[in-house]
Structure 1
Amino acid sequence: MQQLDEIVPAAFNGAVPFLELTPASQGGWSLYGGRIHARVPATATYLPDPEEDEEAIDYRATLTLDVVNGRLACTQLTLQSIDDEIPVTSDRIRKIPVGEFVAAAAELGGAFDYYQRAGSAYKVTKSFSPPPSDFAAQGMTDDALEQISQLYAFCMATGQKPTGVLAREYNLPRPTTSKWIAAARRKGILVDEHRRLPDDFIGDPLERRIHEATGAKDGG
């Protein structure tokens, strides 16, 4: 069975030793009908150490991460030179790997809580558990559509292409993946609904609590 670090593209050759993530303690977003609780706005800080990392950039970078169109994204970037003799210039700014930082933050964990089905029950996890390798063996069952919906929501929230992951990790052709995702939507298994949670929402990611917070308090 695939592991998380096999599905999320690892930044910095598989190691992110100088990135620290601080998720929000309240509020955030409910993504894909409550499948994911995004603990944002979060702060990711890159701490360069040239002695340990030959490719270290010249700045301390602080990123504000939030949800944009259902996925984790950088909404603010602050740079501070680690050397008074190294100015912040446009050429150096263009070299900042913002996309890699965001992917690394998603990989580190803490920004998302996942509400996943496990057999007949549901569980809340801090890290995503991918579907078993044979989840599609019995065809387009409701259980298989649930599994593909979980993976779809995870991929979209972390900035990946679900069809690419399913083709690479599960040998599912892209036309088949598109057909199954469409079926999951028709059956209401996959819901493309994203709602910002109230600021006083304390972070219990169970679907019932998320829908109470987004529905009852927002009048929905």
Structure 2
Amino acid sequence: MGEVARLGMNLAPLPLEESLFELSVSSRADNPPRLAALLRAVAAQMRLRWDRTLDFDPARMLELTATAAALVGALGQARAERRAVLAGKVRRDFAPADPLHLVGCGGERWATVSGARGVTAWFIEPATGRWLSTTLARGAGQDPSFMPGDAWHHQPLWHSEPLAVLAHARIELDGSRRSADDRLSAPMSARATIIERSIRPDPGWPGVVHDWE
């Protein structure tokens, strides 16, 4: 990280960028996924600097570099239990969910500086007021043919219809899996039944903005 601070902002040498990316996918970086993601993000910023694009953000690169340096130091001193928290997790843990009655409330298309991209749909469970989400995404360098917009409009989910339809419908969802932070996965067992299409969120639901003025 010291070398990045000395050279990355100005010269942005290509070998340094390549070294960062290789380190992020090496066995040394596989154990702490959070550090691997930071290294890929720094490498992506260095590539923007090397290409002299307007998207290069020196403040963002400095923040990423400082965060990565602090994380390396913390990982080296932390006890095993704390180290596991600092390292992060590659994947969420999903458990079988009870049948869900959900209302789609739209979605968002997103991309990260490291190159991951995807689309996320949001649903509310009216009985509890709890928000849940599901995501179609690919990591940096994975499946170049994947286009979030196309997936939103054309990729069926839960043996039903694309998110463009489900995210604006009232549905019954059976056989899904749910994480502790209310993310929904798409196992083969999941089945969504559309009860009502083109539904609008109730302004009385928590988190729904009904007056933007």
Asked if these proteins are the same fold (TM beyond 0.5), I'd say: no
Structure with more of its chain in helix, by fraction: 2
Q: Please, what TM-score do these two structures have when normalized by structure 2?
A: 0.22
